[in-house]
Chains A and B, each alone.
Chain A
Amino acid sequence: MSSVVKDTHHDDHPSGIMRWIRTTNHKDIGTLYLWFAMIMFFIGGFMALIIRSELFQPGLQFVDPQFFNSMTTMHALVMLFGVVMPAFTGLANWLIPMMVGGPDMALPRMNNWSFWILPFAFSMLLSTLWMDGGAPAGGWTLYPPLSLQTGDAFPFLIFSIHFMGLSSIMGAINVIATILNMRAPGMTLMKMPLFVWTWLITAFLLIAVMPVLAGGVTMLLTDKFFGTSFFNAAGGGDPVMFQHIFWFFGHPEVYILILPSFGVVSSIIPTFARKPLFGYSSMVYATASIAFLSFIVWAHHMFTVGIPLAGELFFMFATMLIAVPTGVKVFNWVTTMWKGAMTFETPMLFAIAFIVMFTIGGFSGLMLAITPADFQYHDTYFVVAHFHYVLVPGSIFAIMAACYYWLPKWTGNMYPETLGKIHFWLSTFFVNLTFFPMHFVGLAGMPRRIPDYSLQFADYNMIASIGAFGFGIAQILFLYIVIKTIKGGKKATDQVWDGADGLEWTLPSPPPYHSFNTPPVVK
């Protein structure tokens, strides 16, 4: 019987490095995810600056075109799978148990595993930079036959994508299990904060599409090494089939990258407007509609492959429909601000900038949905401008807003407000300086993924490059602010923000090791 007594003492707290390797605690794992995303953000950003350096002027100055292609490919893979997705999983780890009133994530050991896969996956991916034939250079979309021309890096690329997918799927299972099983009594689904809702929907998207990507890249692998011809026209295969498989994953993927941002912004706006979120239930339904629509629009990435007219029309109409639920979200946020009593602390500034610039990205998205016009936009810098507007001042700004908003809760210290605001204004200015001119060069005819361009695009490329360096340098300030806040600062109250509402604000700052040992009462 004594062994049973012993078993209840499961609170083993190793210190030093072993604390992080063996941890099953949702806060520690959340921290690991967020730091991992931060490191990858600087690596991916460095790659972006190599791209922008080469594009500063016409002509080839710094890198070989093949290496340039490697940079665009790796920049995308690192930023999508190494920054935005882990950062959101980190936020989910930190916040979901506290928001639903649970002690921890439902599956803590799997939680540890799903994080610790990532450093291996990305070491493998980044190691390809030093391999024969160079790092993957066929674009992050891995379209065959070009991606099959990759050198020694190819199997490492495929296996690292398998690992990333595995990690994401386990993270998603954990989120779903936590949300469905760990809610405090009285926390009904329609009382959950929107961040929890958006993550629940995101998790289902992940489970639905990550295996599709895994299947697609596995077929690439067998085409390359085992003589199959899934995508090889000469062997009876079909290169377009890969694109269908990829974008069946890829379009839900882009909503995986944005839905949690909606949740973050829906938490922040009401707090600083001191007014409840407008249209909570329609926000939930809008998110679910966006998720559903994401499965039936994939071929809008392939308007130029020569789909029959009926197909083009279907995917155009379905894509345009997405504007409806997305519009509902934006209108609800603006109405939440309307007649509020707003203050503009750093998280609020980032959240407002998110709404404005995400909407600009949404507008260009609507333009891209119009098939005849898309023939002109497709694979140009207009597309580059579009998806960077929804991903950088979209997802990345939402992640930064979340960091400023919850850092005082996580660390117990307030971040330096003035520095935060400087970081915000620098980021906003430079992000627009970088990406707004890309609309112009794209419309004027500059294709994406080219290391050199004709002379009429020179001016805007130079402006974009200056903006990119400014944005990159501004993020060092962000790193400094985060470290400074962790190390100390004005003590935060439990409530932190006077308008904040939600279970996480009822816990002390910083919260205890196991968030809620006894379930809170939800009215």
Chain B
Amino acid sequence: MRYLNKFLIFVMINISVLPAQAGWLDLNMPKGVTDISNEVFGLHMLILWICVVIGVIVFGAMFWSILMHRKSKGVTPATWHESTKLEFIWTIVPFIILIGMAVPATKTLIKMYDHSDSEIHIKITGYQWLWQYEYLNTGISYYSKLSTPYSEIYNKKSKNVNYLQQVDNELVVPINKKIRFLLTSNDVLHAWWVPDLALKRDAMPGYINEMSTIINKPGIYRGSCAELCGRHHGFMPIVIKAVTEDEYEKWLTARKVKTSGVAKIK
């Protein structure tokens, strides 16, 4: 019982210290802005609730036993210690529950591996400690690195709201179009992760990894490098700007002019 109390107190403390700016959403995985990311969120919640139910049953039985079957209540202990029937039941039942989890997980995973009919192809290269984005077949290529000033990192100035989640050049992509990302690295391992798109894949030298997405909503989506890559691993964020198709075409043209302008000067 005291154990339970401790746990409740702990939960209460957690709730009470929640400051205004941190909503409940910050406690959980983001639903994201793609069909796949919504499916992943659904899977996550499904398994979480299955675990919660199993936990309530198992811990419930345990705490009931702790409360009722104690020596101070003068009980005499039972002596039975075997039951093939019980062992059989609690082997088979979890197995069936697992199949129930595996089926939707497999379906989602198969969808995640389908990169067919992609319209836009972007090659992402990881460097220590920045990203390079190449829009294949357009000649557009640029680097994207952290733009948070050192004065904020070293606490000389107060931190802005996008602290460590801002870059000099965002990755601009259109919504409602299938985008295929090709990932590689120029030095050590990195991992390109944007939670709102439920996309995470390692960027490795000598390999080209593949993933794809269709973004449903325009907006700014932030992520980061998720594989330890050295001293500034914590300082290579990802920012994606998802825009409507028209805006994307405009941006593309403007960027092409800029790129060819640079070429002329050379």
Looking at the assembled complex, report how far the CB atom of B106 sits from the nearest CB atom of chain A, in whole angstroms.
6
Q: How far is the CA of A234 from the CA of B188 in the complex (A)?
A: 12
Inter-chain contacts of B199 with A (CB < 8 A): 375
Inter-chain contacts of A59 with B (CB < 8 A): 152-155, 159
Q: How far is the CA of A324 from the CA of B223 in the complex (A)?
A: 35
Give the nearest-CB partner of B82 in chain A.
A279
Contact present for A239 and B65 (CB under 8 Å):
no
Contact present for B109 and A313 (CB under 8 Å):
yes
Is B253 an interface position by the 8 A CB rule?
no
Interface size on A, residues (CB 8 A): 100
Q: How far is the CA of A119 from the CA of B94 in the complex (A)?
A: 44
**What are the 7 A-B residue pairs with the smallest beta carbon separation, nearest first?**
A233-B206, A450-B234, A363-B51, A339-B78, A306-B209, A276-B81, A146-B188
Name B30-72 residues within 8 Å CB distance of A: 30, 36, 39-40, 43-44, 47-48, 51, 54-55, 58-59, 61-62, 65-66, 69-72
Q: How far is the CA of A139 from the CA of B165 in the complex (A)?
A: 23
Contact present for B61 and A459 (CB under 8 Å):
no
Looking at the assembled complex, report how far the CB atom of B110 sits from the nearest CB atom of chain A, in whole angstroms.
7
Is A219 an interface position by the 8 A CB rule?
no
Contact present for A447 and B193 (CB under 8 Å):
yes
Contact present for A429 and B163 (CB under 8 Å):
no
Give the nearest-CB partner of A316 in chain B.
B105
Inter-chain contacts of B21 with A (CB < 8 A): 456
Is A196 an interface position by the 8 A CB rule?
no
Contact present for A323 and B94 (CB under 8 Å):
yes
Contact present for B71 and A440 (CB under 8 Å):
no
Q: How far is the CA of A240 from the CA of B206 in the complex (A)?
A: 10
Contact present for B205 and A145 (CB under 8 Å):
yes
Contact present for B90 and A452 (CB under 8 Å):
no
Inter-chain contacts of B94 with A (CB < 8 A): 323-324, 327
Is B161 an interface position by the 8 A CB rule?
yes
Is B235 an interface position by the 8 A CB rule?
yes
Inter-chain contacts of A375 with B (CB < 8 A): 40, 112, 198-201
Is A41 an interface position by the 8 A CB rule?
no
Name A64-116 residues within 8 Å CB distance of B: 64-66, 69
* Stretch of B6-14, B117-125, B171-179, B242-250 with 4 or more beta carbons under 8 angstroms from chain A: B6-14
Looking at the assembled complex, report how far the CB atom of A375 sits from the nearest CB atom of chain B, in whole angstroms.
5
Inter-chain contacts of A206 with B (CB < 8 A): none
Name B94-109 residues within 8 Å CB distance of A: 94-95, 98, 101-102, 105-106, 108-109
A-B contacts at CB below 8 angstroms, number: 297
Inter-chain contacts of B109 with A (CB < 8 A): 309, 312-313, 316, 371-372
Given contacts A343-B70, A359-B55, A459-B22, contact A273 B77 (CB under 8 A): yes
Is B17 an interface position by the 8 A CB rule?
yes
Contact present for B165 and A440 (CB under 8 Å):
no
Indicate which residue in A320, A339, A372, A448 contacts B112 across the interface (CB closer than 8 Å).
Answer: A372
Is A187 an interface position by the 8 A CB rule?
no
Given contacts A352-B3, A436-B10, contact A445 B30 (CB under 8 A): yes
Is A497 an interface position by the 8 A CB rule?
no
Contact present for B81 and A275 (CB under 8 Å):
yes
Contact present for A58 and B159 (CB under 8 Å):
yes
Contact present for B79 and A276 (CB under 8 Å):
yes
Interface string of A230-266 (1 = CB under 8 A from B): 0001100111100000000000000000000000000
Q: How far is the CA of A274 from the CA of B44 in the complex (A)?
A: 40
Known: A137-B231, A339-B78, A376-B200. 5 other contacts (CB 8 A): A65-B231, A233-B204, A273-B69, A370-B105, A432-B7
* Stretch of A10-18, A330-338, A406-414, A471-479 with 4 or more beta carbons under 8 angstroms from chain B: A330-338
Contact present for A60 and B231 (CB under 8 Å):
no
Q: How far is the CA of A452 from the CA of B113 in the complex (A)?
A: 33
Given contacts A352-B3, A367-B48, A454-B164, contact A338 B228 (CB under 8 A): no
Inter-chain contacts of B195 with A (CB < 8 A): 376, 445
Interface string of B129-157 (1 = CB under 8 A from A): 00000000000000000000000111100
Is B91 an interface position by the 8 A CB rule?
yes
Inter-chain contacts of A352 with B (CB < 8 A): 3, 62, 66
Looking at the assembled complex, report how far the CB atom of B216 sits from the nearest CB atom of chain A, in whole angstroms.
17
Given contacts A309-B110, A321-B98, contact A372 B39 (CB under 8 A): yes
Looking at the assembled complex, report how far the CB atom of B92 sits from the nearest CB atom of chain A, in whole angstroms.
9
Inter-chain contacts of A356 with B (CB < 8 A): 3, 59, 62
Looking at the assembled complex, report how far the CB atom of B150 sits from the nearest CB atom of chain A, in whole angstroms.
9
Name B166-222 residues within 8 Å CB distance of A: 187-189, 191, 193, 195, 198-202, 204-207, 209-210
Contact present for A376 and B198 (CB under 8 Å):
yes
Inter-chain contacts of B36 with A (CB < 8 A): 372
Contact present for B153 and A376 (CB under 8 Å):
no
Inter-chain contacts of A123 with B (CB < 8 A): none
Is B116 an interface position by the 8 A CB rule?
no
Is B265 an interface position by the 8 A CB rule?
no
Looking at the assembled complex, report how far the CB atom of A65 sits from the nearest CB atom of chain B, in whole angstroms.
5
Q: How far is the CA of A335 from the CA of B58 in the complex (A)?
A: 10
Contact present for A340 and B234 (CB under 8 Å):
no
Indicate which residue in B10, B87, B188, B232 contacts A279 across the interface (CB closer than 8 Å).
Answer: B87
Interface string of A113-154 (1 = CB under 8 A from B): 000000000000000000000000111000101100100000
Inter-chain contacts of A371 with B (CB < 8 A): 105, 109
Chain B CB within 10 A, most for which of A321, A373, A443: A373
Q: How far is the CA of A313 from the CA of B59 in the complex (A)?
A: 31
Q: How far is the CA of A370 from the CA of B2 in the complex (A)?
A: 34
Contact present for A343 and B71 (CB under 8 Å):
yes
Inter-chain contacts of B153 with A (CB < 8 A): 59-60, 452
Is B262 an interface position by the 8 A CB rule?
no
Is B240 an interface position by the 8 A CB rule?
no
Given contacts A429-B6, A432-B7, contact A443 B27 (CB under 8 A): yes
Inter-chain contacts of B198 with A (CB < 8 A): 372, 375-376
Interface string of A334-350 (1 = CB under 8 A from B): 11111111111000000
Contact present for B81 and A277 (CB under 8 Å):
yes
9 A-B pairs with C-beta separation under 8 A: A146-B228, A306-B207, A340-B69, A352-B62, A356-B3, A378-B200, A379-B193, A433-B10, A450-B224
Give the nearest-CB partner of B153 in chain A.
A60
Inter-chain contacts of B230 with A (CB < 8 A): 66, 69, 137-138, 146, 149
Interface string of A284-314 (1 = CB under 8 A from B): 0000000000000000000011100100110
Is A188 an interface position by the 8 A CB rule?
no
Looking at the assembled complex, report how far the CB atom of A72 sits from the nearest CB atom of chain B, in whole angstroms.
8
Contact present for A456 and B22 (CB under 8 Å):
yes
Is B241 an interface position by the 8 A CB rule?
no
Is A208 an interface position by the 8 A CB rule?
no
Contact present for A367 and B70 (CB under 8 Å):
no
Contact present for B43 and A372 (CB under 8 Å):
yes
